[in-house]
């Protein structure tokens, strides 16, 4: 593709005696001039003190009137205001279907904590410093990266069901792992991207995942830079991982789509329509049993089928919630909603019980902070309110499924005699 009119790529045109040249010396960077705006792309390593110093020196030079950072609002808040997690409403997360986004952010945070413990430097410290220094100097700044939860959802949508299971398992593994991050992953972080490193095991074998995690975000961030440029700055400093430098420079030169429209397209997630075959089969078996019972034994036998279904599924669902040591009210909620699962296939019984549990035993800031450590032991799962809410969800769902098939088996056995 040809660069649009007004877009120019400059390898290193700066006066070597300038403050900016001094700050960028030895740091990977590129400069693109487009539509009257000069974009300096500073490639950083997410685990390097030298990158932090380069960011501070570049902003202190006073040559930039706008700063763009490879962060989204959630990641920025986690870096700059870690105490904000204490204000997270787990009930709202479950109710609005943002569990996958929450899990992705939580897994990324756990991976970053492992790195911080091992290396003695917070991953993304240079991104955090860019925001703090811009605020201190009164410079406008823009967060140009896409929400990590959206990236996870778009990546999962491109994968087959087995790959999605592996991806989800990888996120859980990163949440509970306690071993050191391998040296080769750390080396990748010095010249790559933290999300790419987080998904490294999958991205290396999945072109679809690489496209979503890296290439799509290059396009998304380039569009964000162009939107920032529309606010009439003359010199923009963009602080991004070194792994994005070449792709971002190329996109910034060649993009011609409307930036707002492009970002909207890259934020969209397609909803797959799935036929809940198992729920349909269970519902048909139940309805068929009631009809058969009415035809062969009248209202008494039909009502007996219904009663047997109700008490078995309610009891099994309640036992599942109780096994998670749910609040008594949560157990009652589980018992009430369990029998109606076949007629509500898109909303699991565990969601209702988990919502009740999260309201009655609201997780604290300490629960979120200690989650990674607590889930390493069985006792920790029950002690931590976040982990226990997830346990309530899982065991309640398991209880419902078990109850359904036990009830079906008993009903069929009774009608056959």
Residue 384: which domain range? 277-416
Same structural domain, 243 and 358: no
Per-residue pLDDT, 199: 54
Determine the Cα–Cα distance for residues 146 and 213; give it in Å rounded to an integer.
10
User: H/E element holding 120?
Assistant: none
Whether the predicted pLDDT of 103 surpasses 90? no
Backbone angles phi, psi at 238, to 5 degrees: -110, 120
Same structural domain, 46 and 173: yes
Same structural domain, 259 and 140: yes
Determine the Cα–Cα distance for residues 281 and 39; give it in Å rounded to an integer.
59
More confident position, 277 or 316: 316
Residue 320 lies in a domain: yes
Residue 272 lies in a domain: no
Whether the predicted pLDDT of 253 surpasses 80? yes
Same structural domain, 215 and 335: no
Whether the predicted pLDDT of 415 surpasses 50? yes
DSSP 215: I
Same structural domain, 196 and 326: no
Per-residue pLDDT band for 27 (boundaries 50, 70, 90) equals: confident
More confident position, 177 or 38: 38
Same structural domain, 347 and 380: yes
Give the model confidence (pLDDT) of 110-124 as tens digits: 666 666 666 666 777
Extract the tokens encoding 380. Answer: 């920790």
Q: 177, 105 in Cβ contact below 8 A?
A: no
More confident position, 40 or 186: 40
Look at residue 241 and give its three-state secondary structure: strand
More confident position, 88 or 50: 50
Residue 2 lies in a domain: no
Residue 176 lies in a domain: yes
Give the model confidence (pLDDT) of 222-231 as tens digits: 999 999 988 8
Residue 166 lies in a domain: yes
Per-residue pLDDT band for 306 (boundaries 50, 70, 90) equals: confident
Same structural domain, 95 and 213: yes
Residue 259 lies in a domain: yes
Same structural domain, 104 and 149: yes
Per-residue pLDDT, 288: 67
Determine the Cα–Cα distance for residues 52 and 197; give it in Å rounded to an integer.
20
Which of 151-160, 236-245, 246-255 is predicted least confidently? 151-160
Determine the Cα–Cα distance for residues 260 and 311; give it in Å rounded to an integer.
54
Among 239, 267, 295, the domain boundary falls at 267
Among 235, 267, 299, the domain boundary falls at 267
Which of 96-100, 220-224, 402-406 is predicted least confidently? 96-100
Q: 255, 223 in Cβ contact below 8 A?
A: yes
Same structural domain, 262 and 361: no
The residues that bridge with 68 in the sheet, in sequence order, are: 142, 238
Same structural domain, 284 and 177: no
Task: Indicate the pTM of the whole model.
Answer: 0.66
Same structural domain, 233 and 337: no
Residue 1 lies in a domain: no
Determine the Cα–Cα distance for residues 297 and 52; give it in Å rounded to an integer.
79
More confident position, 406 or 206: 406
Same structural domain, 116 and 184: yes
Per-residue pLDDT, 393: 86
- How many separate domains does the chain show? 2
Determine the Cα–Cα distance for residues 320 and 397; give it in Å rounded to an integer.
7
Among 210, 232, 267, the domain boundary falls at 267
Segment 49-76 mean pLDDT: 90
Residue 345 lies in a domain: yes
């Amino acid at each position: 593709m040809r660069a649009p009119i007004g877009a120019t790529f400059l390898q290193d045109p700066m006066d070597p005696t300038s403050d900016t040249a001094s700050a960028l010396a030895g740091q990977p960077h590129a400069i693109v001039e487009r539509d009257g705006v000069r974009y300096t792309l500073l490639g950083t390593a997410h685990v390097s003190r030298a990158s932090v110093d380069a960011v501070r020196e570049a902003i202190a030079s006073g040559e930039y009137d706008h700063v763009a950072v490879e962060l989204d609002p959630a990641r920025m808040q986690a870096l700059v205001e870690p105490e904000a997690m204490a204000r997270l409403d787990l009930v709202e997360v479950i109710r609005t279907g943002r569990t996958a986004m929450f899990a992705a952010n939580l897994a990324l945070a756990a991976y970053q904590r492992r790195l911080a413990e091992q290396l003695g430097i917070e991953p993304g410290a240079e991104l955090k410093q860019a925001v703090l220094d811009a605020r201190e100097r009164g410079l406008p700044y823009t967060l140009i990266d896409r929400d990590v939860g959206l990236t996870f959802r778009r990546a999962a949508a491109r994968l087959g069901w087995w790959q999605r299971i592996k991806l989800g398992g990888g996120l859980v593994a990163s949440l509970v792992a306690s071993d050191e991050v391998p040296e080769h992953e750390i080396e990748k972080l010095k010249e790559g991207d933290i999300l790419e490193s987080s998904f490294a095991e999958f991205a290396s074998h999945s072109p679809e995942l690489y496209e979503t995690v890296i290439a799509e975000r290059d396009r998304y961030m380039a569009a964000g830079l162009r939107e920032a440029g529309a606010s009439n700055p003359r010199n923009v400093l963009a602080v991004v991982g070194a792994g994005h430098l070449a792709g971002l420079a190329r996109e910034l030169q060649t993009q011609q789509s409307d930036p707002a429209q492009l970002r909207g397209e890259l934020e969209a997630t397609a909803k797959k329509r799935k036929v809940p075959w198992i729920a349909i089969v269970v519902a048909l078996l139940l309805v068929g049993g009631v009809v058969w019972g009415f035809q062969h034994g009248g209202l008494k036998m039909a009502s007996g089928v219904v009663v047997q279904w109700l008490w078995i599924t309610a009891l099994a669902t309640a036992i599942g919630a109780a096994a998670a040591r749910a609040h008594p009210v949560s157990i009652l909620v589980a018992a009430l909603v369990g029998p109606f699962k076949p007629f509500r296939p898109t909303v699991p019984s565990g969601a209702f019980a988990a919502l009740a549990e999260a309201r009655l035993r609201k997780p604290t800031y300490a629960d979120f902070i200690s989650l990674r450590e607590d889930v390493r032991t069985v006792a920790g799962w029950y002690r931590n309110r976040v982990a226990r809410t997830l346990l309530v969800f899982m065991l309640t769902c398991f209880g419902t499924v078990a109850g359904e098939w036990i009830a079906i088996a008993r009903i069929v056995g009774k009608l056959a005699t």
